[in-house]
Amino acid sequence: MPKKHHLTIPLHDPLRIGTLVSILTDVAKHHSLSKEDVIFKLFGND
């Protein structure tokens, strides 16, 4: 069973770019992926 990973996502509108990059980096590290792979999995290649 995969380990759970909890993140706190701020309710800022809009998110600052540094905050978004930090979130993507954390998710990528947890799943042993690159940030680009995480972005592709979230948004596809459009």
Whether 27 and 7 have beta carbons less than 8 Å apart is answered as yes
- Whether the predicted pLDDT of 45 surpasses 80: no
Asked if the structure places residue 22 within a domain, the reply is yes
Structural domains counted in the chain: 1
DSSP state at residue 45:
T
Asked if the structure places residue 9 within a domain, the reply is no
Rounded Cα–Cα distance for residues 27 and 38 (Å): 8
pLDDT at 39: 94
Q: Which residue has the tokens 């990528």?
A: 28
Instruction: Quickly list H helices, 6-46.
Output: 17-30, 35-43
- Whether the predicted pLDDT of 36 surpasses 70: yes
pLDDT at 46: 61
Domain that holds residue 45: 17-46
Asked if the structure places residue 45 within a domain, the reply is yes
| pLDDT tens-digit series, residues 2-30 | 788 899 999 989 999 999 999 999 999 99
Asked if the structure places residue 46 within a domain, the reply is yes
Asked if the structure places residue 31 within a domain, the reply is yes
Pick the closest to residue 21 from 39, 45, 41, 2 (CA basis): 39
